[in-house]
């Protein structure tokens, strides 16, 4: 990943926070058929990524493969009209702000029913937490749960290397960054509030 110094993020706490906040990731592999991408949610557990796929998914047969897992945080278009400097010099152009984390690691597969049941319990409890009446794995009949467990394969990806890129207008003066924040909050489109919140946290961290 192209990493200008302005945008490189190496703080593991920030990287892990983005991975937990945006757990639906893209897994890139290079197998016999060439490059392939799969999309699935992960849990970050003790320095490794845990997930699962259907038995028919190509990942289920790639034990030991090197993988790239991409977590994508908030992103959004940035208009040059938001920069005070544009009004002065007109020497500004559009861009795109975003935050991403790339995890490089090695894939291990498992069919252990106990491991899979624990994973499904964690995933369900986490993502059902905001529901008025959270659904739990134990709500389903046991024979149905066992059938579902036999239909999936667990994935564990050790993290060999992790890269973060938070492109949040750090290469602009404070007045321009403030203009971007104001522009995002006024536009209030898809993901704009999340991107503005992330930029605000980064601003507080610099002060």
pLDDT in tens, 161-181: 999 999 999 999 999 999 999
Distance CA 87, CA 202 (A): 25
SS3 176: helix
What confidence tier does 207 reach under pLDDT thresholds 50, 70, 90?
Answer: low
For 123, residues 6+ apart whose C-beta sits below 8 A from its C-beta are: 41, 43
Beta bridge partners of 102: 70, 163
Which residues, 6+ apart, have CB-to-CB distance to 53 below 8 Å? Answer: 38, 40, 59, 60, 152, 153, 155
Compute the distance between CA of residue 149 and CA of residue 192 in angstroms, rounded to an integer.
38
Q: What is the CATH number of the domain that holds 13?
A: 2.30.110.10
Does 159 map to a domain?
A: yes
For residue 123, being part of any structural domain is answered with yes
When divided into structural domains, the chain yields a total of: 1
Domain that includes residue 66, residue range: 8-75+97-170
Q: Is 1 part of any domain?
A: no
Please tell me the number of Cα atoms within 13 Å of 54 on its side-chain side: 4
Residue 84 lies in a domain: no
Instruction: Compute the distance between CA of residue 101 and CA of residue 16 in angstroms, rounded to an integer.
Output: 9
pLDDT band at 92, cuts 50/70/90?
A: confident
Q: Is 86 a member of any domain?
A: no
What dihedral angle (degrees, nearest 10) is formed by the CA atoms of 67, 71, 76, 80? -60
Average pLDDT along the chain: 95
**C-alpha to C-alpha distance for 199 and 195, rounded to whole angstroms:** 6
Helices marked H in the chain — which ranges? 12-21, 84-89, 113-128, 142-150, 174-187, 192-206
Does residue 207 lie in a domain region?
Answer: no
Question: Has residue 188 been placed in a domain?
Answer: no
Q: Which pLDDT score is estimated for 91? A: 76
Dist CA 125 CA 184 (whole Å): 33
Mean pLDDT of 150-165: 97
pTM score, two decimals? 0.94
Question: Is 175 among the domain residues?
Answer: no
For residue 173 the two structure tokens come to 């003066």
**% of the chain surpassing 90 pLDDT:** 92
CA distance 4 to 47: 26
**C-beta separation of 40 from 55 below 8 A:** no
- Write the pLDDT tens digit of every residue in 35-79: 999 999 999 999 999 999 999 999 999 999 999 999 999 999 999
How far is it, in rounded angstroms, from Cα 12 to Cα 80?
32
């Amino acid at each position: 990943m192209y990493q200008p110094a302005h945008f490189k993020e190496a703080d593991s706490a920030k990287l892990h926070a983005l991975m937990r906040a945006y757990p639906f990731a893209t897994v890139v592999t290079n197998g016999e058929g060439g490059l392939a991408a799969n999309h699935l949610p992960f849990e970050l557990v003790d320095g490794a990524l845990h997930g699962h796929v259907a038995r028919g998914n190509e990942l289920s047969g790639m034990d030991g493969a090197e993988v790239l897992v991409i977590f994508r945080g908030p992103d959004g278009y940035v208009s040059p009209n938001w920069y005070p400097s544009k009004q002065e010099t007109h020497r500004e152009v559009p861009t795109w702000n975003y935050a991403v984390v790339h995890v490089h690691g090695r894939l291990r597969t498992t069919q252990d029913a106990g491991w899979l049941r624990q994973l499904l319990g964690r995933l369900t409890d986490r993502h059902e937490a905001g529901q008025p009446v959270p659904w739990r794995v134990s709500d389903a009949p046991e024979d149905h749960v066992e059938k579902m467990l036999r239909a999936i394969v667990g994935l564990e990806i050790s993290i060999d290397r992790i890269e973060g890129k938070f492109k949040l207008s750090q290469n602009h003066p404070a007045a321009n960054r403030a203009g971007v924040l104001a522009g995002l909050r006024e536009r209030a489109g898809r993901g704009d509030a999340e991107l503005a919140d992330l930029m605000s946290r980064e601003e507080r961290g610099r002060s």
